[in-house]
Structure 1
Amino acid sequence: MPIRRAKRAESLYAEVAEYDLVITPDAPLASAINRRLDRPHFGTFATTPRRLAAGRREQAEDRHAFLKLVAETDHDWKAIAYAIGNVLQCWEHQGRLDAILEYDAYVDDATREVVEVMRTLRTTSKRLSEYAIDGDRTTDGDRMADDRSVAVVGYDQLTALERSVLPDAFDRVDLFTDEAFDYPPFHVFESATDIVTALLDAVSTRNADRVAVVLDGGGQYSSLVESALEAADIPFYGGPGFVDDPHHRAFVHLLRLGFGGSETTVGDVRPLLAQLDVDVPTADRDRRLSAVDDPGVEWLRTFCGGIEDRTFADALDAYASEAGVELERFDAELRELGLADEPVTAGGVDRLAYYLQTYEVPVDRDNEGVLLADAKSSAYVDRPVVFHLGMGEEWTHSAPQRPWVDTETQFERYVGDFQRLLQSGDRQYYLVRDAAGGEPVTPCLYFGDLLDEEFERFSDLDSVEHRRRPRSNGVGFDRRPLGVDAETVETVSQSALNSYVNSPRDYLFGRLLDAPDRERFVEGNLFHDFAEFYVNHPGVVADADIDDLVDAMLGETEAFFTVSDETLRRRTYRIGLELIAEYLDDNAPESDDFLTPASGRGTNFFADHFDEPVDSPLTERWFEDDSLGVKGKIDLVRSPTQLLDYKSGRKKRPTQVVRGAATDPPADAPNFQAALYLTYYRMLRPDERLEFTFFHFLEPIDDVVAGDADLDDALTTVSYHPVSFDEYVGSRDAYETLLDGYTDCRETFDDLGYQGYVDAVTDLSFPETTDRDELRDSAFAERFTAAVDAGTSDGVDAEKGADQAIRALNGVRKRAFFREDLDAFESFVDERLDELNRRRAGEERFPVEGLTGEPNYRRVDNRDLLLEGDR
Structure 2
Amino acid sequence: MSFPRAKPVDDLYDEVAGYDLVVVPDAPLASALNRRIDRPHLGSFAITPRRLAAGRREEAEDRIAFLELVERTDLDWKRGAYAIGNILQCWEHHGRLEAILDYDAYVDDATRQAVEHIADLETTSWRLTEYRIDDQQDVAVVGDEQLTQLERSILPDDYDTYDTFDDREFDHPPFHIFDSSTAIVDTVVDAVTEENADDVAVVLDQGSEFSPLIESAFEADDIPFYGGPGFVDHPDHRTFVQLLRAAHGGTDTRVGEIRPLLSRLGVSIDVEHDEKRLYELDDSELDWVVDFCDRIENRTFAEVLDRFEDRVDRRLDTFRDELETLGIADTHATERAVDQLVFYLQSYEVPVDRENEGVLLADAKSAAYVDRPVVFYLGLDEDWTHSAPRRPWVDQDAQYTRNIQQFRLLLQSGGTQYYLVQDAKGGSPVTPCLYFEELLDEEFERFSDLESETHTRRVGRSGGGFEKESSDATTTEVSTISQSSLSTYVNSPRDHFFGRLVDGPDKDYFKEGNLFHDFAEFYVTHPEFVDDNVIDDVVEYVLNETRPFVRSVDEATRRTKYRAGLETIVAFFEENRPVDGEFLTTTSDWGTNVFAERFDKSVASPITERWFENDDLRLKGKIDLIHSPSRLVDHKSGRRKSAGQVVKSSALDPPSDSPNFQALLYLTHWRSQYPDQELEFTFFHFLETLDDVVAGEVDLDDTLTTVSYYPMPFDEYARSESFFDELVEDGSNNCQKTLSQVAYEDYAAVFDEAAPPDTTDSDELIDSVFGETLTARMKDCVGDYKYVESGCKQALRQLTRVRGQAFFENDLDAFEPFVDERLEELNRRRAGEERFPVEGLGGEPNYRYVDNRDLLLEGDR
Instruction: Indicate the TM-score class for this superposition, using the shorter chain for normalisation.
Output: over 0.9
Give the aligned partner of residue 753 of structure 1: 743
Ranges in structure 1 where 5+ consecutive residues have no aligned partner = 135-145
Q: Greater shift after overlay, 643-652 or 107-116?
A: 107-116
Asked if 2 retains the 8 angstrom alpha-carbon contact of 1:838 and 1:844, the reply is yes
- Call closer, same or farther: CA 1:152–1:792 in 2, change over 3 Å: same
Give 1:516's match in structure 2, choosing from 485, 495, 505.
505
> Take 1:84 and 1:584, find their aligned partners in 2: how far apart are those partners?
72
Give 2:311's match in structure 1, choosing from 305, 319, 322.
322
SS of aligned partner of 2:168: strand
What percent of counterpart residues are identical? 60
Asked if 2 retains the 8 angstrom alpha-carbon contact of 1:620 and 1:635, the reply is yes
User: Aligned partner of 1:520: which letter?
Assistant: Y
Q: Greater shift after overlay, 850-859 or 706-715?
A: 850-859
User: Aligned partner of 2:534: which letter?
Assistant: D
> Take 1:8 and 1:50, find their aligned partners in 2: how far apart are those partners?
24
Asked if 1 retains the 8 angstrom alpha-carbon contact of 2:753 and 2:773, the reply is no
Asked if 2 retains the 8 angstrom alpha-carbon contact of 1:744 and 1:796, the reply is no
CA deviation after TM superposition for structure 1 residue 243, in Å: 1.5
Asked if 2 retains the 8 angstrom alpha-carbon contact of 1:187 and 1:430, the reply is yes
Q: Greater shift after overlay, 465-474 or 825-834?
A: 465-474
Give 2:466's match in structure 1, choosing from 460, 463, 476.
476
> Take 1:729 and 1:474, find their aligned partners in 2: how far apart are those partners?
66
Q: Does 1:668 align with 2:657?
A: yes
Give 1:411's match in structure 2, choosing from 387, 390, 400.
400
- Call closer, same or farther: CA 1:810–1:586 in 2, change over 3 Å: same
Q: Does 1:491 align with 2:472?
A: no
CA deviation after TM superposition for structure 1 residue 794, in Å: 6.7
> Take 1:322 and 1:372, find their aligned partners in 2: how far apart are those partners?
32
> Take 2:726 and 2:457, find their aligned partners in 1: how far apart are those partners?
59
User: Aligned partner of 1:23: which letter?
Assistant: V
CA deviation after TM superposition for structure 1 residue 460, in Å: 1.4
User: Aligned partner of 1:408: which letter?
Assistant: D
Asked if 1 retains the 8 angstrom alpha-carbon contact of 2:183 and 2:458, the reply is no
User: Aligned partner of 1:20: which letter?
Assistant: D
> Take 1:233 and 1:551, find their aligned partners in 2: how far apart are those partners?
56
How many matched pairs? 859
Root mean square deviation, CA, Å: 1.8
* Cα deviation code 1:261-316 (max 9, x no counterpart): 21111112211111110111222221111122223311122222221210011111
Aligned residue runs from structure 1 range 338-377, under 5 A: 338-377=327-366
SS of aligned partner of 2:11: helix
> Take 1:695 and 1:38, find their aligned partners in 2: how far apart are those partners?
89
* Cα deviation code 1:347-406 (max 9, x no counterpart): 111111111111111222221221111111010000111111111111110111111111
* Cα deviation code 1:202-244 (max 9, x no counterpart): 2222222111111111011112222222222222111111122
Q: Does 1:831 align with 2:848?
A: no
CA deviation after TM superposition for structure 1 residue 849, in Å: 2.3
Give the aligned partner of residue 16 of structure 1: 16
SS of aligned partner of 1:432: strand
CA deviation after TM superposition for structure 1 residue 473, in Å: 13
* Cα deviation code 1:50-85 (max 9, x no counterpart): 111111242111011111111111111111111111
> Take 1:117 and 1:314, find their aligned partners in 2: how far apart are those partners?
32
> Take 1:566 and 1:247, find their aligned partners in 2: how far apart are those partners?
37
> Take 1:372 and 1:771, find their aligned partners in 2: how far apart are those partners?
63
> Take 2:357 and 2:485, find their aligned partners in 1: how far apart are those partners?
51
Q: Greater shift after overlay, 9-18 or 821-830?
A: 821-830
* Cα deviation code 1:68-112 (max 9, x no counterpart): 111111111111111111111111111111111111111111111
> Take 1:221 and 1:150, find their aligned partners in 2: how far apart are those partners?
40
Q: Does 1:530 align with 2:519?
A: yes
Q: Does 1:332 align with 2:326?
A: no
CA deviation after TM superposition for structure 1 residue 770, in Å: 2.2
Give 2:757's match in structure 1, choosing from 767, 785, 794.
767
Aligned residue runs from structure 1 range 479-628, under 5 A: 479-481=469-471, 483-542=472-531, 544-628=533-617
Asked if 1 retains the 8 angstrom alpha-carbon contact of 2:754 and 2:769, the reply is no
Give the aligned partner of residue 141 of structure 1: none
> Take 1:870 and 1:246, find their aligned partners in 2: how far apart are those partners?
37
Give the aligned partner of residue 802 of structure 2: 812
CA deviation after TM superposition for structure 1 residue 258, in Å: 2.3
> Take 1:294 and 1:364, find their aligned partners in 2: how far apart are those partners?
40
Give the aligned partner of residue 175 of structure 2: 186
User: Aligned partner of 2:522: which letter?
Assistant: F
Give the aligned partner of residue 52 of structure 1: 52
- Call closer, same or farther: CA 1:538–1:470 in 2, change over 3 Å: closer
User: Aligned partner of 1:243: which letter?
Assistant: V
> Take 2:565 and 2:168, find their aligned partners in 1: how far apart are those partners?
79
> Take 1:43 and 1:792, find their aligned partners in 2: how far apart are those partners?
114
Aligned residue runs from structure 1 range 26-425, under 5 A: 26-134=26-134, 146-425=135-414
Asked if 2 retains the 8 angstrom alpha-carbon contact of 1:87 and 1:115, the reply is yes
Aligned residue runs from structure 1 range 768-807, under 5 A: 768-792=758-782, 797-807=787-797
> Take 2:605 and 2:570, find their aligned partners in 1: how far apart are those partners?
17
Provide TM-score, normalisation by structure 2: 0.97
> Take 1:391 and 1:788, find their aligned partners in 2: how far apart are those partners?
73
User: Aligned partner of 1:534: which letter?
Assistant: Y
> Take 2:356 and 2:478, find their aligned partners in 1: how far apart are those partners?
54
CA deviation after TM superposition for structure 1 residue 469, in Å: 7.5
> Take 1:601 and 1:40, find their aligned partners in 2: how far apart are those partners?
90
SS of aligned partner of 1:751: coil
CA deviation after TM superposition for structure 1 residue 36, in Å: 0.8
User: Aligned partner of 2:101: which letter?
Assistant: L
CA deviation after TM superposition for structure 1 residue 148, in Å: 2.2
Asked if 1 retains the 8 angstrom alpha-carbon contact of 2:199 and 2:359, the reply is yes
> Take 2:789 and 2:439, find their aligned partners in 1: how far apart are those partners?
71
Q: Does 1:863 align with 2:853?
A: yes
> Take 2:206 and 2:125, find their aligned partners in 1: how far apart are those partners?
25
- Call closer, same or farther: CA 1:7–1:789 in 2, change over 3 Å: same
Asked if 2 retains the 8 angstrom alpha-carbon contact of 1:734 and 1:809, the reply is no
CA deviation after TM superposition for structure 1 residue 599, in Å: 0.7
SS of aligned partner of 2:530: helix
> Take 1:364 and 1:440, find their aligned partners in 2: how far apart are those partners?
40
SS of aligned partner of 2:216: helix
> Take 1:205 and 1:820, find their aligned partners in 2: how far apart are those partners?
69
SS of aligned partner of 2:529: helix
Asked if 2 retains the 8 angstrom alpha-carbon contact of 1:751 and 1:793, the reply is no
Give the aligned partner of residue 137 of structure 1: none
> Take 1:30 and 1:853, find their aligned partners in 2: how far apart are those partners?
57
Give the aligned partner of residue 725 of structure 2: 736
Asked if 2 retains the 8 angstrom alpha-carbon contact of 1:265 and 1:289, the reply is yes
CA deviation after TM superposition for structure 1 residue 774, in Å: 2.0
CA deviation after TM superposition for structure 1 residue 858, in Å: 1.9
SS of aligned partner of 1:766: coil
* Cα deviation code 1:553-577 (max 9, x no counterpart): 1121111112222211111111111
Asked if 2 retains the 8 angstrom alpha-carbon contact of 1:637 and 1:644, the reply is yes
> Take 1:191 and 1:562, find their aligned partners in 2: how far apart are those partners?
38
